[in-house]
Structure 1
Amino acid sequence: METYSIEDDEVGRRFAAVLIEKQKQGVQVNFIYDSIGSGNTPEEFFKPLLDSGVNVLKFNPINPLALRKKFEVGRDHRKLLVVDGQIAFVGGVNISSVYSSGSFRSKPRTKDTPPWRDTHLRIEGPVVTDFQKLFLATWEKQKGKPLASKSFFPRIGRRGNEVVRAIGSSPDESYSLIYVTLLSAINSAETYAYVTTAYFVPDPGLLAALKGAAQRGVDVRLLLPDKTDSNLVLYASHAYYDELLSAGVKIYELEGALLHAKTALIDGVWSTIGSTNLDWLSLEHNQEINAVILGQEFGTQMKALFDEDIKSSRLVTLEKWRQRPILTRIKEFGASLLARQL
């Protein structure tokens, strides 16, 4: 299991209890968590895991004395679970109680418990081997202790009709593979491109791809948050609205929930779900992981989810957008100057 954030709350403790129980049953549990993403989780939370025999690895410890190499930077923003080498879970969901108040829950939300909207994916089939290889590569790169072989790579037969690819990215690499893959998909779009992201601070390449697709008649829709846990990122995101709206890109802001999903759907047949946001942090500084799925059946499910979100969203129009206050525009400009740090 690999996660950006595991919190010392009801959900985090339930996960820890299950992992400890499986370890006691003889299932070797190997667990990676990010030092920044889990920065509020006390070390005492991990002690029962370690005492039970769980292999626990902190990604890029914040403590300078514990750094594994000089000036080590970067965050592990991946969310990955691999079970018995045969089932993988990947997407945007961290281990936190905030998802207990998700956008599809039956109880009404309160001011103190805003619902979160996220997307996660369960996968079976040969591609699970590739997801596990990505986990093991991180473990080795972070100098985790050698793992005893537990038949990590069982032979897996074909499952379903979709073609699935596991894509990992790391700041150690010269470019983000998922980012390049997404740009290629948008540039190849013929009918529509639906993109959902929690944090949107695009670079020139993504801006050009989105505007170019809209200008050649592709129905380009961005589903972005109405509210977020980072006002600075939100203002920076807003700085690009005028340019995108002027090019014909449709922008929707999800209302009534805190958007955390990171997905895309192109022409009903190319989909991706993962941890990668469309901002400089994901592009240059984070380890990320995504699944890319080729298949019309899965694309139909993705479109149904997107259409459902649109029902709970507000369409941003260029005319109304240009009526926003001058103070708001100043904040957006200031935040955009920090785009590469967001």
Structure 2
Amino acid sequence: MTQTPPEDAPTDAQSTFSGTREVDPRYALDEASLGVWLTANVEGYAGPLTVRQFKGGQSNPTYELSTPGRTYVLRRKPPGTLLPSAHAVDREFTVISALHAQGYPVAKPWALCTDDGVIGSMFYVMDKVEGRVLWDLKLPGMAPAERRAVYNAQVDTLAALHRFDPAAIGLGDYGKPGNYFERQVGRWTKQYRASEIDPIPAMDRLIDFLPATLPPEGPTRIVHGDFRLDNMILAPDQAQVRAVLDWELSTLGDPLADFSYLLIAWAIPGSLRNGLAGADLKALGIPSVEEVVARYSEKTGAPAPSNLDWLFAYNLFRLAAICQGIAGRVRDGTAASPQAKSMAAQVPALAEGAWSFAKKAGA
């Protein structure tokens, strides 16, 4: 997963997070064992195999597998002791398999391995989709019309996901029905408590406030859980989404959770590469929150959300809990990214941001 970026993220995020590097020794694979498994389980596979690790990603180590005839991507659970229900690569494989069959833009899945004996943890293999991953929301170097087209494609792709009836595409049992926000607040509270290091008063207040003020229940749809620009691969030369990545947090739930998560970018300071607040959106060609809400509502037929302050508080609380989990993995030596320490340090600021929206929502 490629969570919120570090506060001190370099201005050239594109080169920092894009591409591959040598495999971190902590996440080295037994390439001989992997090659045997690929030969047996991936149709058409033929070595020799070259393995590199992607720079982006904080949660599940992700690798590029190159062969003379094809390039694949491998996603694995990190080794070591993990939080309950985290790093669910088997669920990723399930959801992209169902969506790929419907023509939704995801990578072609090849095979899932649940045998820890092959490389040390569960993993799956999918095609590598060629294209652009855009890491800076202000899209430097693009013309205004290009930026608007990218943002419209992003919203349309999320709306397309939320139009699916999960049961109709074989995902009716992919998550529990009902009480989505209640269950999510409970889940992230547990994850936060399991990784807690120093007390953060704003998190304690949110843990009391959010369950007491849950919104009305919405329709049950497929929720990606981390839907944002840098979790998509776009075509090299046009605003076409070729693949949505990183389905680790996906489940069935309220689509407003996904949509409001996308919208928090407009509330994050524009001085950060994942923020737009204060940026001259009109000059950049980037749609306003109101325009994004209107487009999403048009594409899904759903009414515009009336409780964005609560939804923003929830999403920032959730991000704080995710980053606290990364802090726990830094402490335990299992964090997958060199940016993990900086991200872990964001928890207090995210918690304060969440509490500020909670106060607007009536706390």
Q: For this structure pair, what is the TM-score category when the shorter chain's length is used for normalisation?
A: under 0.3
Q: Which structure has the higher relative contact order (CA within 8 Å, separation 6+)? A: 2
